[in-house]
């Protein structure tokens, strides 16, 4: 079985995000970029499933500019067998991205598609669900545990009331949560070996995916603003004073 893992290039979670001076977006020049943390967890789970004998190949895929090949090489260093860069200079929205991946799935025929539940740059939490709907295959989101059996996968999810267990027939789409695993540390010898692993570049136009159907309903970004600076706190001497202060601020 082949496992396809989607990874996205994002600003590293340790970096403080800054809005450009002209408010046209966030600053990325000279900023450390990395694999989206949720996608890194998805890749780690795919590698563990392969190591347990449930899969023969882990294919990692990313779409974007040439710069995202850096994250694909990192994924190969972690242990992925092969990588595909879906080249585009456009910032695809979730539905368009799902359509592109659906077209790639028809080529690669994976048994499982793994991806993070959301990307930390936009927090949409949509691509996995849209992909499952387009592919017409079962899905499990926010996975905290994944167990494979013959022709099916059991996924444990954390919900408000406790734990929910879903059993899906393969092929299926699974999105991962933080508590699923801890990704492995990439060692220098693995980084060197990754340079020899296959990384194919494929223009998304070659997939003939219908990515223009949602153009009229596309999300439009009107402005970028940094969060307001946090004000200083105050001390109150009593509960009555606290309530009065909250009322004055319109909070109660």
The runs of H, that is alpha helices, within 3-126 are 37-51, 69-78, 94-108
Spatial separation of the C-alpha atoms in residues 239 and 191, rounded to whole Å: 59
| Percentage with pLDDT > 90 across the chain | 62
What pLDDT does 252 receive? 82
**20 within some domain:** yes
Instruction: Give the CA-trace dihedral at 124, 169, 43, 122, to 10 degrees.
Output: 0
Q: Give the range with max mean pLDDT: 70-74, 121-125, 192-196.
A: 70-74
Spatial separation of the C-alpha atoms in residues 236 and 29, rounded to whole Å: 45
**244 within some domain:** no
- C-alpha Rg value of the chain to the nearest Å: 21
Closest by alpha carbon to 115, among 103, 101, 96, 104?
101
Burial of 15 per CB tally in 10 Å (0-12, 13-18, 19+): middle
List pLDDT tens digits, range 33-64: 999 999 999 999 999 999 999 999 999 999 99
Spatial separation of the C-alpha atoms in residues 233 and 6, rounded to whole Å: 43
List pLDDT tens digits, range 215-251: 546 677 778 888 888 878 889 999 999 999 999 988 8
CATH number at residue 97: 3.40.50.620
**21 within some domain:** yes
**243 within some domain:** no
What pLDDT does 118 receive? 92
- The total of structural domains in the chain comes to 1
Please give the mean pLDDT across all residues of the chain: 90
**240 within some domain:** no
Do the beta carbons of residue 118 and residue 153 sit within 8 Å? no
| Percentage with pLDDT > 70 across the chain | 96
**230 within some domain:** no
What pLDDT does 251 receive? 85
> Number of helices (H) and strands (E), helices first, in the chain?
6, 11
As a whole number, mean pLDDT of residues 152-167 equals: 92
List pLDDT tens digits, range 63-116: 999 999 999 999 999 999 999 999 988 878 888 899 999 999 999 999 999 999
Residue 71: which domain range?
2-225
What pLDDT does 241 receive? 92
**Three-class SS of residue 54?**
coil
What pLDDT does 146 receive? 94
Residues 6+ apart with CB under 8 A from 194: 73, 74, 76, 77
Do the beta carbons of residue 78 and residue 43 sit within 8 Å? yes
**187 within some domain:** yes
The values of phi and psi at residue 191, to 5°, are -65, -40
**249 within some domain:** no
Structure token digits, residue 225 = 């603003």
What pLDDT does 218 receive? 67
């Amino acid at each position: 079985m082949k496992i396809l893992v989607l990874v996205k290039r994002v600003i590293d979670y340790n970096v403080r995000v800054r809005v450009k001076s002209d408010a046209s977006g966030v600053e990325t020049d000279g900023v450390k970029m990395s694999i989206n943390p949720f996608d890194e967890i998805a890749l780690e789970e795919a590698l563990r499933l392969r190591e347990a004998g449930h899969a023969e190949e882990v294919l990692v895929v990313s779409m974007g500019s040439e710069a995202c090949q850096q994250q694909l090489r990192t994924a190969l260093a972690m242990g992925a067998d092969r990588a595909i860069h879906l080249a585009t200079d456009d910032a695809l929205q979730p539905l368009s991205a799902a359509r592109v991946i659906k077209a790639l799935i028809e080529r690669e025929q994976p048994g499982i598609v793994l991806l993070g539940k959301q990307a930390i740059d936009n927090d949409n939490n949509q691509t996995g669900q849209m992909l499952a709907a387009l592919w017409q295959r079962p899905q499990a989101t926010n996975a905290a545990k994944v167990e494979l059996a013959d022709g099916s996968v059991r996924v444990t999810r954390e919900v408000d009331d406790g734990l929910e267990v879903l059993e899906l027939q393969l092929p299926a789409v699974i999105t991962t949560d933080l508590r699923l695993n801890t990704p492995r540390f990439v060692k220098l010898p693995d980084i060197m070996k990754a340079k020899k692993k296959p990384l194919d570049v494929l223009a998304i136009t070659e997939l003939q995916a219908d990515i223009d159907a949602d153009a009229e309903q596309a999300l439009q970004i009107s402005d970028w603003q940094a969060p307001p600076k946090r004000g200083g706190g105050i001390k109150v001497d009593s509960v009555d004073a606290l309530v009065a202060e909250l009322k004055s601020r319109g909070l109660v």
